Amino acid sequence: MDATGGEFAKGMAMLGAGIAMGLGAIGPGIGEGFAAGKACEAVGRRPEEAGLLTRTMLVGQAVSESTGIYSLVVALLLIFVV
């Protein structure tokens, strides 16, 4: 097992990619699920507004998704560019 400088940095970049994507997926997963749960609750109260509620839920989830996409981009950069 040889650990020259470049090889070590490459290894740490891979580890960084794994940690970035792993931790970065926790927040959006829970947050979007919470939004979906509350939307279901609201549809149960006002079934006639189901279309509006689904639209609002999707817009909210799309914003919540952004940090997950940032994590994905950073992870891919660390894998392929560094």
Partner 1 sequence: MTIQIVDWVQTGAMIGGGLSVGLAAIGAALGEGYTAGKASATLSYRPELAADVMKTMLIGQAVAETAGIFGLVVSLLILFSPTSGATMLTGWAYLAAGLSMGLSAIGCGVGSGFPSANACEGIGRQPAISGQLTTLMLIGSGVAQSTAIYGFLIALLLVYKSFPDTATVSAICSLLAAGIAMGLGGIGPGLGEGYAAGKAIGAAARNPETLGVMTRTMLVGQAVSESTGIYSLVVALLLVLRV
Q: By CB under 8 A, name the binding residues for partner 1.
A: 1-3, 7-8, 10-12, 14-19, 21-41, 43-45, 47, 50, 53-54, 57-58, 61-62, 65, 68-69, 71-72, 75-76, 79
Closest of 65, 9, 77, 69 to residue 36, by C-alpha = 65
For residues 61 and 36, give the distance between their C-alpha atoms in angstroms, rounded to a whole number. Answer: 8
For residues 80 and 59, give the distance between their C-alpha atoms in angstroms, rounded to a whole number. Answer: 31
Closest separation in Å from C-beta 55 to partner 1? 10
Closest separation in Å from C-beta 53 to partner 1? 7
